[in-house]
Structure 1
């Protein structure tokens, strides 16, 4: 059995702490958006509520379930983690579609133009991308279906993780852009230190997820390279 060096143990502890901060950031940010949105007070209120639930909480937890340092199900089997992952991701996609529908219907009712801001444009791209990514994820649940195209299971995992990371990054960018919206800055009056914390939360989660995915799959891609 290989003895772990003191420096490696320290790094492992630091990675664990950083990942646990991501859990807290995801939940705290979502809870705060719920608070300032007052879900149910208007049709629009469901947009930030459901979108934050989808992309700032459910999707983060769906990915962190595989974290070797901070998974909330760290002792669960790989099969169980996969099941939890796709359940959370499915809930995230449904929540995202509902939140997206809320803002579209709200704009139609108020005769407002669609996708005129960077937040709206990135939001549209993110929702479409996430839906497509989720559909392709079905191949990992039923890998026998991918054999028709002679795809290997490990190839599918690498592709899913890589494109999933891109989708999550798009989601984080969209969330950050929302912090510059009239709703956050003017209606909710979020500014100063609180605004900075709101900016930190999705940025930190994005950093942690990037680190997790690259550490898990970069060595595999290097081994398979010719």
Structure 2
């Protein structure tokens, strides 16, 4: 028989307080997409990174959408107009990945690398949207057509303007924080830029979907389910990677 010392025998009161202490500290934390989740299998639990799965979903969607646009423009008879959807698809592509690369960064080193990629992707998107917008303006001027008469055209000019403002505002926060009162204030305004970026991404895909239903596009490729599938994949992927704690603006 194993003897017990006085230190080994604890009073019920001590046991109760100890239990309460551990209970308060053992409350499960909120599971974020970046954490590894254990999945039971016949050979034991296995782990996978949900953030990576979400990234694959979003990537598949954006490649499907942009890739289909580029397939259409590559095979269509050449006219100046085809550069408009080509460049706007590039804008959509870069804007999506510009968000994905920053969503799950946690450590400062990861944030710095993610920010550099974000700036690169969004800079390309900025140039592409200006070029794509200029192409459609030039094309319609050459053919004496009115501007911004369709729902797609109206949505396009609004999204174009919004993207320019978003890009300029983001550049000021990162590169010229003194304009808004210094680095600390600029960092505090990141949350507004982030929230606005998600809203802009929704606008981009709504506008792009409208473009896929134009007469010219449907003559080349009339399968709306492809566009809807791509948008669903992107939406699920981006939404499941987003951290709610980073979207609180009030």
TM-score normalised per structure 2 = 0.73
Answering whether residue 147 of structure 2 is matched by residue 111 of structure 1, we say no
Question: For the Cα contact (< 8 Å) 1:179–1:199, is it kept in 2?
Answer: no
* Structure 2 spans left out of the alignment, 5+ residues: 1-25, 40-47
Aligned to 1:42: 79
Aligned-pair distance for 1:201? 1.1
Question: For the Cα contact (< 8 Å) 2:101–2:114, is it kept in 1?
Answer: yes
Aligned to 1:19: 55
Residue 123 of structure 1 is aligned with which of 151, 156, 159? 156
User: Within 2, Cα distance between the matches of 1:179 and 1:130?
Assistant: 20
More helix by share: 1
Aligned-pair distance for 1:10? 5.5
Q: Note closer, same or farther for the CA distance 1:151–1:13 as it changes in structure 2 (3 Å cut).
A: closer
Secondary structure class of the residue paired with 1:77: helix
User: Within 2, Cα distance between the matches of 1:83 and 1:92?
Assistant: 14
Residue 222 of structure 2 is aligned with which of 175, 181, 190? 190
Answering whether residue 237 of structure 2 is matched by residue 205 of structure 1, we say no
Question: For the Cα contact (< 8 Å) 1:172–1:203, is it kept in 2?
Answer: no
Q: How many residues align?
A: 212
Residue 89 of structure 2 is aligned with which of 52, 72, 75? 52
Aligned-pair distance for 1:31? 1.5
Question: For the Cα contact (< 8 Å) 2:57–2:237, is it kept in 1?
Answer: no
Point out which structure has higher relative CO (alpha carbons under 8 A, 6+ apart): 2
Secondary structure class of the residue paired with 2:102: coil
Aligned-pair distance for 1:177? 1.2
Answering whether residue 97 of structure 2 is matched by residue 61 of structure 1, we say yes
Aligned-pair distance for 1:40? 8.7
Per-residue CA deviation, residues 51-106 of structure 1 (Å, 9 max, x unaligned), is 01111x111111100233xx8xx996211210110111010011011111111111
Greater gyration radius: 2
Aligned-pair distance for 1:5? 10
Aligned-pair distance for 1:143? 5.5
Question: For the Cα contact (< 8 Å) 2:140–2:147, is it kept in 1?
Answer: yes
TM-score normalised per structure 1 = 0.80
User: Within 2, Cα distance between the matches of 1:4 and 1:133?
Assistant: 34
Taking only aligned residues, the RMSD between alpha carbons, in angstroms, comes to 3.3
Aligned-pair distance for 1:8? 7.4
Question: For the Cα contact (< 8 Å) 1:165–1:209, is it kept in 2?
Answer: no
* Structure 1 spans left out of the alignment, 5+ residues: none
User: Within 1, Cα distance between the matches of 2:215 and 2:180?
Assistant: 49
